[in-house]
Amino acid sequence: MFDLTLSFDNGPTADVTPFVLDVLARRGVKSTFFVIGEKLARADNRALTERAHAEGHWIGNHTWSHSLPFGLMAPDAANSEFDRTQAAIGPLGHARRFFRPYGQGGNLDNRLLSKPVLDHLSRERATIVLWSALPRDWQDPDGWVERALGQVAALPWSLMVLHDLPTGAMRHLDRFIGLIGERGGRIRQDFPPDCMPMVDGEMRFSIDEYVAA
Protein backbone atom coordinates (compact mmCIF):
# COMPACT_ATOMS: atom_id res chain seq x y z
CA MET A 1 0.00 0.00 0.00
CA PHE A 2 1.24 3.45 -0.83
CA ASP A 3 -0.13 6.90 -1.50
CA LEU A 4 0.64 9.02 -4.52
CA THR A 5 -0.05 12.65 -5.36
CA LEU A 6 0.20 13.63 -9.03
CA SER A 7 1.23 17.03 -10.35
CA PHE A 8 1.65 18.29 -13.90
CA ASP A 9 4.22 21.01 -14.57
CA ASN A 10 5.13 23.37 -17.43
CA GLY A 11 1.70 23.61 -19.08
CA PRO A 12 -0.82 24.36 -20.17
CA THR A 13 -0.28 22.89 -23.64
CA ALA A 14 -2.79 22.68 -26.48
CA ASP A 15 -3.69 19.07 -27.34
CA VAL A 16 -1.84 17.65 -24.33
CA THR A 17 -3.54 19.26 -21.33
CA PRO A 18 -7.04 18.41 -22.65
CA PHE A 19 -5.96 14.80 -23.10
CA VAL A 20 -4.55 14.69 -19.54
CA LEU A 21 -7.76 16.22 -18.19
CA ASP A 22 -9.83 13.63 -20.04
CA VAL A 23 -7.78 10.78 -18.55
CA LEU A 24 -7.95 12.20 -15.03
CA ALA A 25 -11.71 12.71 -15.32
CA ARG A 26 -12.27 9.17 -16.56
CA ARG A 27 -10.14 7.79 -13.72
CA GLY A 28 -11.67 10.06 -11.08
CA VAL A 29 -8.24 11.47 -10.17
CA LYS A 30 -7.68 15.04 -8.92
CA SER A 31 -4.26 16.63 -9.26
CA THR A 32 -2.43 19.95 -9.36
CA PHE A 33 -1.28 21.82 -12.46
CA PHE A 34 1.75 24.03 -11.89
CA VAL A 35 1.47 26.41 -14.80
CA ILE A 36 3.99 28.71 -16.46
CA GLY A 37 2.71 32.28 -16.19
CA GLU A 38 3.61 33.52 -19.64
CA LYS A 39 1.69 30.68 -21.25
CA LEU A 40 -1.52 32.06 -19.77
CA ALA A 41 -1.31 35.11 -22.03
CA ARG A 42 -2.78 32.93 -24.78
CA ALA A 43 -6.55 32.70 -24.59
CA ASP A 44 -6.60 28.99 -25.45
CA ASN A 45 -4.11 28.21 -22.70
CA ARG A 46 -6.06 30.32 -20.27
CA ALA A 47 -9.18 28.33 -21.15
CA LEU A 48 -7.36 25.07 -20.44
CA THR A 49 -6.41 26.28 -16.98
CA GLU A 50 -9.99 27.38 -16.40
CA ARG A 51 -11.14 23.92 -17.41
CA ALA A 52 -8.67 22.23 -15.05
CA HIS A 53 -9.86 24.44 -12.20
CA ALA A 54 -13.51 23.82 -13.01
CA GLU A 55 -12.89 20.06 -12.93
CA GLY A 56 -11.54 20.22 -9.40
CA HIS A 57 -7.80 20.31 -10.01
CA TRP A 58 -5.64 22.77 -8.12
CA ILE A 59 -3.67 25.44 -9.95
CA GLY A 60 -0.20 26.45 -8.78
CA ASN A 61 2.53 28.88 -9.84
CA HIS A 62 5.58 27.47 -11.68
CA THR A 63 7.32 30.78 -12.49
CA TRP A 64 6.60 33.21 -15.30
CA SER A 65 9.28 32.25 -17.83
CA HIS A 66 10.75 28.93 -16.60
CA SER A 67 14.10 30.26 -17.75
CA LEU A 68 16.43 30.04 -14.75
CA PRO A 69 16.15 28.61 -11.25
CA PHE A 70 15.34 31.46 -8.85
CA GLY A 71 18.62 30.96 -6.99
CA LEU A 72 20.49 31.96 -10.17
CA MET A 73 18.27 34.95 -10.92
CA ALA A 74 18.52 38.51 -9.59
CA PRO A 75 16.13 38.56 -6.60
CA ASP A 76 13.94 41.31 -8.03
CA ALA A 77 13.53 39.40 -11.29
CA ALA A 78 12.70 36.18 -9.47
CA ASN A 79 10.20 37.89 -7.17
CA SER A 80 8.56 39.51 -10.16
CA GLU A 81 8.28 36.10 -11.88
CA PHE A 82 6.31 34.86 -8.89
CA ASP A 83 4.12 37.98 -8.69
CA ARG A 84 3.29 38.15 -12.39
CA THR A 85 2.32 34.50 -12.43
CA GLN A 86 0.10 34.88 -9.37
CA ALA A 87 -1.58 37.80 -11.12
CA ALA A 88 -2.03 35.79 -14.32
CA ILE A 89 -3.51 32.84 -12.44
CA GLY A 90 -5.77 35.18 -10.48
CA PRO A 91 -8.89 33.57 -9.04
CA LEU A 92 -7.98 30.20 -10.56
CA GLY A 93 -5.14 29.88 -8.06
CA HIS A 94 -5.45 27.78 -4.94
CA ALA A 95 -5.99 29.88 -1.80
CA ARG A 96 -2.73 28.58 -0.32
CA ARG A 97 -0.77 30.08 -3.21
CA PHE A 98 1.08 26.94 -4.23
CA PHE A 99 4.48 27.64 -5.75
CA ARG A 100 6.73 25.05 -7.33
CA PRO A 101 10.27 26.29 -7.98
CA TYR A 102 11.95 25.53 -11.28
CA GLY A 103 14.76 23.01 -10.81
CA GLN A 104 16.27 23.04 -14.32
CA GLY A 105 15.87 19.34 -14.96
CA GLY A 106 14.40 18.58 -11.59
CA ASN A 107 17.51 19.37 -9.55
CA LEU A 108 16.94 19.91 -5.86
CA ASP A 109 20.07 21.85 -4.95
CA ASN A 110 21.28 25.30 -3.95
CA ARG A 111 20.31 26.87 -7.27
CA LEU A 112 16.65 26.40 -6.47
CA LEU A 113 15.98 29.48 -4.32
CA SER A 114 17.71 32.37 -2.60
CA LYS A 115 17.20 34.06 0.76
CA PRO A 116 15.61 37.21 -0.74
CA VAL A 117 13.23 35.04 -2.74
CA LEU A 118 12.29 33.03 0.35
CA ASP A 119 11.62 36.29 2.21
CA HIS A 120 9.38 37.43 -0.64
CA LEU A 121 7.49 34.14 -0.76
CA SER A 122 6.97 34.40 2.98
CA ARG A 123 5.58 37.94 2.71
CA GLU A 124 3.30 36.72 -0.08
CA ARG A 125 2.09 33.86 2.16
CA ALA A 126 3.09 31.31 -0.45
CA THR A 127 3.19 27.55 0.03
CA ILE A 128 6.29 25.97 -1.52
CA VAL A 129 5.59 22.58 -3.06
CA LEU A 130 8.66 20.47 -3.87
CA TRP A 131 8.55 16.86 -5.07
CA SER A 132 9.79 13.38 -4.18
CA ALA A 133 9.29 11.39 -7.39
CA LEU A 134 10.60 12.50 -10.76
CA PRO A 135 10.37 9.75 -13.38
CA ARG A 136 11.77 12.05 -16.10
CA ASP A 137 8.86 11.64 -18.46
CA TRP A 138 10.21 14.42 -20.68
CA GLN A 139 13.46 12.55 -21.34
CA ASP A 140 11.99 9.09 -21.62
CA PRO A 141 8.44 9.36 -22.95
CA ASP A 142 7.93 5.59 -23.06
CA GLY A 143 10.15 4.28 -20.27
CA TRP A 144 9.02 6.64 -17.52
CA VAL A 145 6.15 4.42 -16.40
CA GLU A 146 8.39 1.63 -15.13
CA ARG A 147 10.67 4.13 -13.38
CA ALA A 148 7.65 5.85 -11.82
CA LEU A 149 6.27 2.57 -10.50
CA GLY A 150 9.61 1.83 -8.85
CA GLN A 151 9.78 5.28 -7.28
CA VAL A 152 6.31 5.21 -5.76
CA ALA A 153 6.85 1.73 -4.32
CA ALA A 154 9.83 3.03 -2.36
CA LEU A 155 7.95 5.69 -0.37
CA PRO A 156 4.77 5.60 1.72
CA TRP A 157 3.53 8.80 0.06
CA SER A 158 5.14 10.27 -3.06
CA LEU A 159 4.58 13.57 -4.78
CA MET A 160 5.29 12.99 -8.45
CA VAL A 161 6.14 15.53 -11.12
CA LEU A 162 4.87 14.79 -14.61
CA HIS A 163 4.62 17.24 -17.52
CA ASP A 164 1.67 18.11 -19.75
CA LEU A 165 4.08 18.75 -22.60
CA PRO A 166 4.02 17.38 -26.18
CA THR A 167 6.62 14.66 -25.60
CA GLY A 168 4.25 11.75 -26.08
CA ALA A 169 4.74 10.67 -22.47
CA MET A 170 1.13 11.37 -21.52
CA ARG A 171 -0.04 8.64 -23.90
CA HIS A 172 0.86 6.29 -21.03
CA LEU A 173 -0.90 8.21 -18.27
CA ASP A 174 -4.06 6.13 -18.31
CA ARG A 175 -2.10 2.88 -18.18
CA PHE A 176 0.08 4.25 -15.40
CA ILE A 177 -2.91 5.18 -13.27
CA GLY A 178 -4.38 1.74 -13.83
CA LEU A 179 -1.14 0.07 -12.71
CA ILE A 180 -1.04 2.22 -9.57
CA GLY A 181 -4.44 0.87 -8.60
CA GLU A 182 -3.47 -2.71 -9.39
CA ARG A 183 -0.42 -2.41 -7.13
CA GLY A 184 -2.36 -1.12 -4.15
CA GLY A 185 -1.65 2.55 -4.60
CA ARG A 186 -4.08 5.27 -3.59
CA ILE A 187 -4.00 8.55 -5.51
CA ARG A 188 -4.82 11.66 -3.49
CA GLN A 189 -4.78 15.37 -4.23
CA ASP A 190 -3.15 16.86 -1.12
CA PHE A 191 0.62 17.11 -0.69
CA PRO A 192 2.86 15.19 1.70
CA PRO A 193 4.08 17.55 4.47
CA ASP A 194 7.71 16.66 3.79
CA CYS A 195 7.37 18.31 0.34
CA MET A 196 6.10 21.61 1.77
CA PRO A 197 8.94 23.51 3.46
CA MET A 198 6.84 26.70 3.55
CA VAL A 199 3.10 26.72 4.22
CA ASP A 200 1.10 29.94 4.00
CA GLY A 201 4.36 31.92 4.24
CA GLU A 202 5.72 30.11 7.29
CA MET A 203 8.78 27.88 7.19
CA ARG A 204 8.01 24.35 8.39
CA PHE A 205 11.52 22.95 7.99
CA SER A 206 14.89 24.17 6.86
CA ILE A 207 15.83 23.96 3.19
CA ASP A 208 19.27 25.54 3.47
CA GLU A 209 20.61 23.01 0.98
CA TYR A 210 18.25 24.43 -1.67
CA VAL A 211 19.09 28.08 -1.03
CA ALA A 212 21.95 29.91 -2.74
CA ALA A 213 24.63 31.11 -0.31
- CA separation for the pair 135, 49 (Å, rounded): 24
Peptide bond just before 12 cis, omega within 30 deg: yes
- Which residue in the set 7, 10, 85, 132 belongs to the binding site for Zn ion (CB under 5 A)? 10
User: Binding residues for Zn ion, how many (CB under 5 A)?
Assistant: 2
From 62, 163, 164, 172, the catalytic residue: 163
Q: How far apart are CB 9 and Zn ion at their closest, in Å?
A: 4
Type of residue numbered 171: R
> Which of the following is catalytic: 9, 120, 137, 172?
9
Q: Which is nearer to Zn ion, 7 or 10 (by Cβ)?
A: 10
Identify which of residues 41 and 213 has a Cβ nearer to Zn ion in the complex: 41
Closest to Zn ion by CB, 10 vs 79, is 10
* 31 sits near Zn ion (criterion: CB under 5 A): no
Of 10 and 158, the one with the shorter C-beta distance to Zn ion is 10
Choose one: 6-14, 48-56, 72-80, 123-131; the region binding Zn ion (CB under 5 A).
6-14
| DSSP, residue by residue, the chain | -EEEEEEEES---TTTHHHHHHHHHHHT---EEEE-GGGGGSHHHHHHHHHHHHTT-EEEE--SS--S-GGGS-HHHHHHHHHHHHHHHGGGS-TT-EE----TTT--STTSB-HHHHHHHHHTT-EE---SB---TTT-TTTHHHHHHHHHHTSSEEEEEEE-STTSGGGGHHHHHHHHHHTTEEEESS--GGG-SEETTEESS--GGGB--
Residue nearest Zn ion, Cβ-based: 9
Contacts (CB under 5 A) with Zn ion, residues 135-164: none
CB of 99 to Zn ion, least distance (A): 12
4, 7, 8, 9: which one contacts Zn ion (CB under 5 A)? 9
**Closest distance between Zn ion and the C-beta of residue 60, in Å?**
11
Q: Is 9 a catalytic residue?
A: yes
- 190 as an active site residue: the answer is no
Q: Which residues contact 65 (CB under 8 A, 6 or more apart)?
A: 36, 37, 38, 81
Which range touches Zn ion (CB under 5 A), out of 7-15, 74-82, 129-137, 185-193? Answer: 7-15
Query: Rule CB under 5 A: which residues touch Zn ion?
Result: 9-10
Q: Name the residues annotated as catalytic.
A: 9, 163
